[in-house]
Each structure stands twice: as C-alpha cells, then as structure tokens.
C-alpha cells in the first residue's frame, strides 16, 4: 500500500511541478500562445493538484494511525507481538528518508512559485507525519503484528491485512511470507515482521486456526 501511495504522489507531482515551473518562471507556452503567468486558470489548476496530493497524504496518515491503534488492542488478538528489531530499524530508515524527500519536494515547489502552496503543504505535511508517526511508533513500541480468528494484521510504516477467507497456501521465499488465494490472488508480508524466536508460535497459531486440509502451511520457518 505504501508503494502505491508513493506512486500516486509521484504521478501527481509531475504535472504539479510542470505547471509550477511554467508559472513560476513565466515560460512561454507556444501551442497555447501564452506564458505561464498568463495561463488561464493556473491558480485553480495548482489548487486542484494540491488538494489531490493532500487527500492522498491524509489517507495514508489515517490508514497508518488506525492500523497501529487496531493492532495494539491486544486483547482482541489470538497472537500479538511487536515487529522484530531489524524490521523496526528498517522502518525508521525508510520513513525518515521518505520524510526528507517529501520535505525537500515541498520546499522546492513553494520556492518555484508561492501559488503552489497547497501542494507544498501536502508534501510538508507528509514529511512531518512520517517523522511523528515513526518517533511515536518506535518510542512506544506500537509497531506490531497480530493474528485474529479472521485475519493477520501487520502495522508499521504500512498496514497489511491478510484475511483467511479463500486462503489456500502459506509459504516463505527468501525474506517474504506469501499468502496464495483462490483465483490467483497473492498477498505478502515481510518475514522480519516477526521475531525469529516467535515464528514457531506464529505458525502454530495459524495451524490451530486454519483447516490444514484446505490450506497448505509451510514447514520452512
């Protein structure tokens, strides 16, 4: 999900930056016989792109915080455990790097033209949210993986929800746990979401919850 959100942000960043450059530097637009600053509705265009970018950032933020809140209601889970130390460190590296990039993009957009203020704010908001989310999650040990009677949920820099309905196979390949469903659907979570000394308990819990006559569960741990 996090990759998808980043792809969306990048997709809308390109036209936003393009319009910002034309407006900010008042470049000629020959095929429209005008220039950037004289482009009709350019303010509305930049506001529209900014609103889209802000909605995308807000959606990711809400999803992350709600996922962390849910997985920390440990009484509702059959099995629940903090993610591994290696996973926690990787989350910190990824999210802080992501925050730096988002902040840089926001500053550049605003410097190119102040009329892109909403788009710039969307990126700065995303950067601040990344920093706060990671700091709170690590300091309070909120990043966890859990198993209910119906699904697996992993919440750290992203939220992964693996339902048991239609599940046919659970396997491990390299550093990823794969979940294969009917009709060819495949979902996955990083194997290091689970501490090494907790993997046996994790798979034992799945074995007790699932019908092993219908769901293949790997013996490779």
Q: What is the pLDDT of residues 49-58, one digit of tens each?
A: 999 999 999 9
Which of 156, 221, 161, 163 is closest to 193 using CA atoms?
Answer: 156
- Give every strand in the sheet of 186-190, ordered side by side: 186-190, 176-181, 167-173, 216-217
Average pLDDT over the chain, rounded to an integer:
93
Any idea how long the chain is?
221
Do residues 66 and 111 share a domain? yes
| 23 and 128 share one domain | yes
Do residue 53 and residue 112 come from a single domain? yes
Q: Does one domain contain both 29 and 122?
A: yes
Q: Under DSSP, is residue 131 helix (H, G, I), strand (E, B) or coil?
A: helix
CA–chain centroid gap for 189, Å, is 13
Count of the separate structural domains present in the chain: 2
Residue 178 lies in a domain: yes
pLDDT of residue 166: 95
Q: For the residues 143-167, what does the mean pLDDT come to?
A: 96
What confidence score (pLDDT) does residue 9 get?
94
pLDDT at 32 over 80: no
| pLDDT at residue 129 is higher than 90 | yes
pTM: 0.89
Give the model's pLDDT for residue 40.
83
CA pair distance 208, 184, nearest whole angstrom: 25
Across the range 62-79, mean pLDDT stands at 96
pLDDT for 86-95, tens place per residue? Answer: 999 999 999 9
Whether 132 and 124 have beta carbons less than 8 Å apart is answered as no
> What pLDDT is recorded for position 36?
65
CA 214 to mean position of chain CA atoms: 32
In this structure, are 29 and 65 located in the same domain? Answer: yes
80 within domain boundaries: no
> Which domain, by its residues, includes 52?
2-73+87-139
Question: What pLDDT was estimated at residue 38?
Answer: 79
pLDDT tens for 165-201 read: 999 999 998 889 999 999 899 999 999 899 989 999 9
Least confident of 58-62, 110-114, 204-208, 217-221: 217-221
Same domain (yes/no): 174, 118? no
pLDDT category at 1 given cuts 50, 70, 90 is: low
Poorest-pLDDT segment among 22-31, 69-78, 86-95, 131-140 = 22-31
CA proximity to 54, closest of 134, 131, 135, 116: 116
Please state, for a pLDDT cut of 70, what percent of the chain lies above it.
98
Q: Is residue 66 in some structural domain?
A: yes
């Amino acid at each position: 999900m996090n990759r998808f959100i980043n792809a969306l942000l990048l997709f809308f960043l390109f036209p936003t930056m393009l319009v910002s450059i034309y407006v900010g530097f008042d470049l000629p637009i020959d095929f429209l016989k005008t220039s950037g600053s004289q482009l009709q509705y350019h303010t509305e265009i930049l506001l529209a792109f900014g609103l889209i970018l802000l909605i995308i950032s807000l959606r990711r933020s809400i999803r992350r915080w709600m996922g962390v809140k849910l997985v920390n209601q440990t009484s509702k889970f059959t099995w629940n455990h903090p993610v591994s130390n290696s996973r926690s460190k990787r989350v910190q590296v990824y999210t802080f790097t992501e925050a730096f990039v988002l902040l840089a993009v926001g500053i550049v957009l605003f410097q190119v033209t102040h009329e892109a203020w909403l788009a710039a704010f969307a990126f700065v908001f995303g950067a601040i949210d990344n920093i706060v989310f990671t700091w709170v999650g690590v300091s309070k040990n909120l990043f966890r993986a859990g198993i209910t009677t119906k699904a697996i949920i992993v919440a750290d820099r992203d939220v992964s929800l693996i339902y048991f309905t239609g599940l046919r196979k659970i396997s491990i390949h390299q550093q990823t746990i794969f979940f294969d469903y009917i009709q060819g659907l495949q979902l996955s979570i990083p194997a290091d979401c689970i501490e090494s000394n907790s993997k046996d308990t994790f798979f034992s819990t799945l074995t007790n919850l699932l019908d092993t006559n219908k769901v293949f569960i790997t013996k490779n741990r």
